[in-house]
């Protein structure tokens, strides 16, 4: 029996649906090109991964394009190898959806190779700096390779081979203040001056210092007496203005309070990456942070400079919401416990409730506007209020866009126009749903993981109210295990927990439009389409929040 996909990883079809997001995947190489020079100055390795229906070739697989200026850092898998990729970004590249790793990205890779001799031990090749494999990941890789998964999954199952760094050996580039052999990961409470550490933290605030620097205020909800002490009602004057010289209005400090928050100054290329990809409340891994005394503040701060040996290496790694790493879970538990305690000690307090803070900020009247500007703002709010009270819940649509029953909506287009359409009846009656058991009993599968293109018309939807098309998703409680009591206890509206909005609705559709064969005059086959967040964002070009 094939083991389930490891926690924190997506199957290939799910990864293909997560455009502009970072995913972890494991798959079999069904097509590969050896590394070669790209059109620019870098090298590129191209291969395609699948985790089911391997025999059908590269169709429906996830194509990977991995770029790097140093060819030795490129993965070079062969056909039928198994490849594990962490933090690969799925996006549209040259008109197709694929996983792309650019020169500035840090995407660890591991290649599992099986020798022609079936009795020989499989071999692992991995990029330097890649974290160790878990037993679940090894078992899943063995299963994809067709190796008996009952074999022990410790390191002796494989011959482990690390790709050599191109310039200096690993020991030679270890920072002098990081003791050899000692893990660099550290909690904030254990930080000491003059060390280089890796931190798993949550971003509580960001500030663009200048074009070269970007400030992250981060916390793992542990306390260090060397940090700045944020009082319960501390304002925002420390955002690049420690002494409050500037006259701009203050923004309340979102917490945590006390000595739990470390200011980390990012320099290029980390600052550029963080500006584009990191926002408040994100969980991140910061690698090789220099702990030192702030020049102006005199308290403990962090600094992340350009890597001298690999100047384009990004050491700010966003952490997926579905990451199952135990250090992430511990951080989430500490955060939930901290805010639960703060709320118990301060009834009615909403310090970390992002939604309530934003609502309060939006309701606040600007004090420095002219009389004419205030009047114009009042008229604008009046128009918005009148618009929100209309019976129609949808935005206004031009009359020309309301076509006939079988006329396609010009504003909705398929991702791949070259794929032919199939009727709903053909989709529902596909012969691939019929399967034969080992005992010769024929049965019908309730569904299959297949993709179709269809020309349809929406005839109904659920929920009946459009405002219910989005639901609130508690990110941090979902990151904890289902068996974790801290994830299932406490107030659902607890302010310490980070909540997002996601699309989740159902459409009832029937055959319509050109390009498909169906009865134009009689009743038409209908089918329910369940639309999740990623597909809805792609369809509507609109986030749920």
Q: How far apart are CA 491 and CA 489, in angstroms?
A: 7
- At 426-448, the pLDDT tens digits run 888 877 777 777 778 887 777 77
Mark whether 329 and 438 lie in a shared domain: no
> Residue 364 falls within a domain, yes or no?
no
Q: What is the pLDDT of residue 420?
A: 83
Q: Which ranges of 289-410 does DSSP label H, i.e. alpha helix?
A: 326-345, 354-363, 371-388
Quickly tell me which residue has 């609109």 as its tokens: 542
Mark whether 131 and 73 lie in a shared domain: yes
Average pLDDT of every residue of the chain: 76
Of the candidates 510, 133, 205, 189, the one whose C-alpha atom is nearest the C-alpha of residue 357 is 205
Q: How far apart are CA 341 and CA 350, in angstroms?
A: 12
The residue out of 281, 304, 338 marking a domain boundary is 338
For residue 186, name the pLDDT band (cuts at 50, 70, 90). Answer: very high
Please count the residues of the chain: 545
Mark whether 218 and 274 lie in a shared domain: yes
Mark whether 143 and 195 lie in a shared domain: no
Q: What percentage of the chain reaches a pLDDT higher than 70?
A: 70
Q: What is the pLDDT of residue 540?
A: 86
pLDDT of 182 > 60? The answer is no
Q: How many domains in the chain?
A: 3
Mark whether 145 and 203 lie in a shared domain: no
Mark whether 222 and 285 lie in a shared domain: yes
Q: Which CATH number belongs to the domain containing residue 213 in this structure?
A: 2.40.50.140
> Residue 334 falls within a domain, yes or no?
yes
Q: Phi and psi for 108 in degrees, rounded to 5?
A: -60, 145
> Residue 361 falls within a domain, yes or no?
no
The residue that leads in pLDDT, 234 or 290, is 290
Prediction pTM value: 0.51
> Residue 446 falls within a domain, yes or no?
yes
Mark whether 29 and 123 lie in a shared domain: yes
Q: How far apart are CA 202 and CA 218, in angstroms?
A: 5
Quickly tell me which residue has 């878990």 as its tokens: 134
Contact criterion met (CB below 8 Å) for 516 and 420: no
Lowest mean pLDDT among 71-85, 225-239, 380-394, 464-478: 380-394
Mark whether 69 and 202 lie in a shared domain: no
Neighbours of 82 (CB within 10 A): 26
Q: Average pLDDT for residues 334-345, to the nearest whole number?
A: 89
Burial degree of 508 (CB within 10 A; 0-12, 13-18, 19+): middle
pLDDT of 376 > 60? The answer is yes
Q: Phi and psi for 491 in degrees, rounded to 5?
A: -75, 130
Q: Average pLDDT for residues 333-361, to the nearest whole number?
A: 72
Mark whether 30 and 141 lie in a shared domain: yes
> Residue 102 falls within a domain, yes or no?
yes
The residue out of 284, 315, 338 marking a domain boundary is 338
> Residue 260 falls within a domain, yes or no?
yes
The pair of structure tokens assigned to 23 is 């995913």
> Residue 519 falls within a domain, yes or no?
yes
pLDDT of 367 > 60? The answer is no
> Residue 410 falls within a domain, yes or no?
no
Question: Is residue 378 left, alpha or beta, with left meaning phi > 0 and alpha meaning psi from -120 to 50?
Answer: alpha
- At 493-527, the pLDDT tens digits run 555 566 778 899 999 999 887 656 666 677 888 99
Mark whether 69 and 200 lie in a shared domain: no
Mark whether 143 and 197 lie in a shared domain: no
Mark whether 80 and 25 lie in a shared domain: yes
Q: Collapse the DSSP code of 233 into the 3-class scheme (helix H, G, I; strand E, B; otherwise coil) and give the result.
A: coil
DSSP codes joined into one string, 288-319: EEEEEE-TTT-SEEEEE---SSSTT---EEE-
Question: Is residue 129 left, alpha or beta, with left meaning phi > 0 and alpha meaning psi from -120 to 50?
Answer: left
Residues 153, 155, 161, 166, CA torsion sign: positive
- Segments forming the whole domain that contains residue 221: 188-230+254-338
Lowest mean pLDDT among 208-222, 255-269, 392-406: 392-406
Q: What percentage of the chain reaches a pLDDT higher than 90?
A: 21
Residues 55, 56, 60, 65, CA torsion sign: positive
The residue out of 292, 307, 338 marking a domain boundary is 338
């Amino acid at each position: 029996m094939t083991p389930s996909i490891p926690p924190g990883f997506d199957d290939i079809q799910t990864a293909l649906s997560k455009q502009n997001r970072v995913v972890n995947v494991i798959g079999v190489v069904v097509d590969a090109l050896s590394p070669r020079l790209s059109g620019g100055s870098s090298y590129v390795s191209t291969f395609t991964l699948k985790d089911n229906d391997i025999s059908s070739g590269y169709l429906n697989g996830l194509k990977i394009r991995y770029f790097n200026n140093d060819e030795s850092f490129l993965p070079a898998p062969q056909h039928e190898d198994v490849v594990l990729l962490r933090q690969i970004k799925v996006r549209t590249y040259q008109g197709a959806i694929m996983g792309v790793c650019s020169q500035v990205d840090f995407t660890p890779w591991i290649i599992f190779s099986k020798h022609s001799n079936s009795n020989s031990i499989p071999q692992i090749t991995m990029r330097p700096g890649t974290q160790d494999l878990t037993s679940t990941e090894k078992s899943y890789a063995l299963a994809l390779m067709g190796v008996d998964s009952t074999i022990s999954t410790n390191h002796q199952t494989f011959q482990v081979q690390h790709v050599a760094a191109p310039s200096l050996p690993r020991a030679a580039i270890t920072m002098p203040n990081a003791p050899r052999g000692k893990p660099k990961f550290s909690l904030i409470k254990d930080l000491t001056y003059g060390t280089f550490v890796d931190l798993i933290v949550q971003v509580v605030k960001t500030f663009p210092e200048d074009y070269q620097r970007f400030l992250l205020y981060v916390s793992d909800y542990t306390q260090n007496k060397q940090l700045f002490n944020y009082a319960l009602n501390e304002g925002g004057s420390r955002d690049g203005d420690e002494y409050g010289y500037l006259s701009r209005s203050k923004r309340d400090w979102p917490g945590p309070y006390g000595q739990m928050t470390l200011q980390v100054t990012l320099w290029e290329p980390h600052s550029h990456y963080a500006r584009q990809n990191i926002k408040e409340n994100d969980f991140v891994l910061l690698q090789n942070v220099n702990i030192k005394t702030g020049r102006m503040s005199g308290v403990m701060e962090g600094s992340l400079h350009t890597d001298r040996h690999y100047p384009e290496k990004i050491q700010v790694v966003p952490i997926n919401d579905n990451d199952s790493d135990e250090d992430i879970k511990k951080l989430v538990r500490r955060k939930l416990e901290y805010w639960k305690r703060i709320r118990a000690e301060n009834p009615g307090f909403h310090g970390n409730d992002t939604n309530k803070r934003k609502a309060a900020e939006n309701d606040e009247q600007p004090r420095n506007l002219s009389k004419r500007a205030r009047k114009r703002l009042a008229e604008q709010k009046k128009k918005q209020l009148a618009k929100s009270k209309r019976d129609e819940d949808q935005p206004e649509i031009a009359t020309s866009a309301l076509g006939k029953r079988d006329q396609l909506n010009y504003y909705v287009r398929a991702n791949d126009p070259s794929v032919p359409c199939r009727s709903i009846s053909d989709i529902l009656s596909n012969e691939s749903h019929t399967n034969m058991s080992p005992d010769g009993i024929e049965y019908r599968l309730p569904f299959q993981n297949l993709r179709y293109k269809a020309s349809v018309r929406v005839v109904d939807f659920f929920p009946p109210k459009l405002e219910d098309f989005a639901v609130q998703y508690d990110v941090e409680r979902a990151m904890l295990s289902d068996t974790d009591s801290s994830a299932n206890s406490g107030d659902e509206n607890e302010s310490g927990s980070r909540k997002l909005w996601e699309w989740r609705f159902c459409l009832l559709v029937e055959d319509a439009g050109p390009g498909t064969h169906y009865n134009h005059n009689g009743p038409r086959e209908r089918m329910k389409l369940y639309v999740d967040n990623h597909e809805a964002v792609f369809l509507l070009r609109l986030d749920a929040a």
